[in-house]
């Protein structure tokens, strides 16, 4: 169900008793052993405006200029050396071009806002069993003043098991390695990338597309091309574009780059 009124935040909270949680044991609680993804729709404000508001609200910020990050800790005016110095801060906003990633770590749950294929999504990672209405009421109350919530929000919630070592299978229409699909739906993009040895720069991941012979790459993906060889194209690809690229008719298979092993 999609809401398209200025009062979307209020309507979501009021309608939570009717929310259907896919693959969860209950429709009224977030379970500690699962994490959840909820579509938020497009941002209400521009990324630069959200960055300014978030910094004022006490978020540390990592901003990328191409491949070069600049990090600012909440309360300090001067930039710090390297993005890793603030990547684990409790309140973090990462800006990579026209994309943003916002995360807040709390005692009871962690939530993340990040780009999806078409708009933005909310990831809720509960640290204990919690009522859905309490969690989303708190989260949405934080997001609205930052300019993240627009007039559209989807109240369908997808649930994923935290202890699923194999991870969810990629959709049948997406020709891609499972680690890449696992990254796309991971509760923590950075932790997943580190565990699977995927190369991240900001909100982009290094991937290689094995191309269909004589096929042409869609123009929408051309800005992310790093190298183009016969039959192979290497990308620095926004994570949210993994599924669209894997579903492209020109792509036979999407995978991480092969890296030489050390004996």
Contacts of residue 114, defined as CB under 8 A and 6 or more positions apart, other chains included, come to 100, 101, 102, 120, 121, 123, 189, 203, 239, 240
pLDDT of 23: 40
What is the residue-wise DSSP string for 128-178?
S-EEHHHHHHHHHHHHHHHT---S-EE--EEEEETT-SS-PPPPTT--B-H
pLDDT of 219: 96
Write phi, then psi, for 32 (nearest 5 degrees): -60, -30
Q: How many residues does the chain have?
A: 263
pLDDT of 84: 76
Contacts of residue 219, defined as CB under 8 A and 6 or more positions apart, other chains included, come to none
- Answer whether residue 20 shows pLDDT above 50: no
Residues 255 and 210: beta-carbon distance below 8 Å: yes
Band of pLDDT at residue 156, cut at 50, 70 and 90: confident
pLDDT of 196: 94
* pTM score of the predicted model: 0.88
Q: Which residues does residue 96 pair with via DSSP β-bridges, in sequence order?
A: 64, 99
- Answer whether residue 12 shows pLDDT above 70: no
Task: Parse the chain into domains and list their residue ranges.
Answer: 1-163, 178-255
- Answer whether residue 3 shows pLDDT above 80: no
C-alpha dihedral sign at 255, 259, 260, 263: negative
- Answer whether residue 57 shows pLDDT above 60: yes
Report for 35-49, 67-81, 153-167: range of highest mean pLDDT: 35-49
Q: Between residues 156 and 89, which one has the greater pLDDT?
A: 89
User: What percent of the chain is predicted at pLDDT more than 90?
Assistant: 71
């Amino acid at each position: 169900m999609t809401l398209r009124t200025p009062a979307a935040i209020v309507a979501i909270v009021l309608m939570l008793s009717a929310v259907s949680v896919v693959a969860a044991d209950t429709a009224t609680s977030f379970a500690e052993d699962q994490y959840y993804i909820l579509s938020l729709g497009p941002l209400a404000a521009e990324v630069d405006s959200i960055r300014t508001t978030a910094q004022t609200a006490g978020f540390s910020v990592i901003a990328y200029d191409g491949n070069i990050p600049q990090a600012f800790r909440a309360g300090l005016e001067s930039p710090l050396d390297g993005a890793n110095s603030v990547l684990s801060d409790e309140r973090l906003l990462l800006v990579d071009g026209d994309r943003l990633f916002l995360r807040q770590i709390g005692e009871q749950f962690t939530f993340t806002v990040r780009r999806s294929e078409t708009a933005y999504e909310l990831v809720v990672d509960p640290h204990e069993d919690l009522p859905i209405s309490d969690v989303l009421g708190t989260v949405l109350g934080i997001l609205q003043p930052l300019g993240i919530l627009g007039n559209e929000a989807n109240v369908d919630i997808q649930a994923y098991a935290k202890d699923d070592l194999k991870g969810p299978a990629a959709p049948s229409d997406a020709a891609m390695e499972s680690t890449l699909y696992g990254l796309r739906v991971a509760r923590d993009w950075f932790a997943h990338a580190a565990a699977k040895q995927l190369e991240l720069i900001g909100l982009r991941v290094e991937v290689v597309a094995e191309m269909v012979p004589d096929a042409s790459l869609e123009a929408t993906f051309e800005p992310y091309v790093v190298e183009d060889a016969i039959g192979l194209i290497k990308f620095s690809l926004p994570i949210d574009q993994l599924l669209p690229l894997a579903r492209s008719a020109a792509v036979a298979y999407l995978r991480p780059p092969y890296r030489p092993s050390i004996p």
